[in-house]
A and B are shown apart, each in its own frame.
Chain A
Amino acid sequence: MDPKLTLTLVGISHRTAPVAVRERYVVSQADLASALGSLLQIAGVSEAFVLSTCNRTEVLVVGEHGVDLAPSVRAQVFRNLAEDHTYVYHDTQALIHVFRIAAGLDSVVVGESEILAQLKRGADTAQQVQSLGALLKPLLQHVLHAGKRVRSETEIGQGTLSVARVAVDIAARVFSRFDRCRALIVGAGETGLLVARHLKDRGIGTLVFANRTLENAQAVSTELGAQAFALDALPRLIPAADLVIACVEGGSQPIDTGVFDTHKLSKRERPQLVIDLSVPRAVAPDVARRPNLLLYDLDDLARVVQENRRGREGSSEGSAEILVAELHKFLALRTYASFTPAIAAMRERFDCVRDEVLDSIAGARSDPKDMELAHVLAKRLLDTALAHMKESARQTRSEDALDREYQRFLENL
């Protein structure tokens, strides 16, 4: 990495904070640009990136070496949050963390691939508001590449789970036959669509979408053969549903607790299952006290997949090797990139020397063979010099040292 710059990561995730805390610090897609703008206003910050999903909010900033940006970032994004809910990483440790996120190793469901799309979306927004620079832009590209490589070359992505899939698996502990079930999905975003696809695969009887924008609900409903409604139909739709899955993006609780009528619930043939995948949560937690109702949020799903996580940790060993190699490659490229001004000067000097030599030899410029010889010789010499520079960049930090740093990172998790 450029010795003049410092990379700082401040974040909260499912590892450090429950959903009740995380939901207060979600940066919605609509607010992302302004959040990045505010981060760039912090003195000393030259680049910024924010990743905000249902399981984490992470801020990555680049500043001058020796300046601790973490307190300012905390004050800006994680105001009034106890320090033990957040974590701070610098430089290589921050890089390791970001690479692990992309590989799905830090996800609730280890190996899930949704995080790659979320990283890509975050990077696109940051690119639009020009908060990415010489360090973060190539870093995010490399991180996405590493994430894809881990999934294609290790077993981690095989039979990949997702939060949506786990939600449907929980539903299978309640309902034997999905063809006799009526499922209501509140929110027609990406997660809602994913849940709907899993339910379709299980042969769900009736699938209903309710969304703030009716047109969006209609668009996904057409694809999946579902019914579409606006959110104002929820008081009518919820009592009729066996399974309610809320995947609402942003905003406060859109599902009124009053729709879960105690009297009607107690008279239901089977319990109503409500799975809230929204952050902030769409269903008030005290609804869980109603009779004949089972309510789960993302933290509950995280506990369900703990068993799955144990099963997949073996396959993450191969991913560590890939991540260390990719990290090494990235750092070597960064070091080599720092040679760019020297390389340009060297190229210029080589051209100059070549021309001087050609001028000093009488008649050399009139002979095409001499001209070609001079050009090839100069190019060969330059290539040899550059190869040496690349090698020295690669050896700036050995892969073994990085591997040790990676192990230290894991020990401190």
Chain B
Amino acid sequence: MRIDKLSLLFFWFQVCWKAFRYVPESTRWSWSRLGEIMSKLLHQAIFITTLLTGSMKVTAEPVLIGHPEINVNPDLTAVKRLYLGKDKSLGGKEALSPIDVDENSRVRPIFLEKVVDKTETELRQYWSRLVFTGKGIPPRSVGGDEAVRQWVATNKNSVGIIDSALVDQSVKVLLNIK
């Protein structure tokens, strides 16, 4: 679960508003006193927020997976070239087919940022240039992370990117994407 910015803002507002209501009347409009109070509230809000986000936020950790019989040790550059159709392997001799990361997958944002280094629109434009001119075919889409794992487990020449939490013995982790 994530705490979005709007919720965070609302939380701070509530804290400050409730605290302000309990400030004595005689000192309410003293600017220096107000500054001290706000400073204390700010520190407390930061502390509470850190606790909440630290305990509630679950970060997706994408990994590149392949069939257990694949024997390659790629780096991120090789993965990028494969997923952009600039290479058909991960540095080895064996040709590999990348499986697309589902648009609703939790690892999709990290995939866009870390692997292909493009926004969603830029990636669509990139593949449109190749697809509609017959110069390339985008990675095959098979569904969500679990569907990707099943596909890779049953197709020797396929690799995919899923959340590390979904990895099991049917596939092999080739690279941790950070």
Query: A and B: partners?
Result: no
Q: Which A positions have Cβ atoms within 8 angstroms of B? A: none
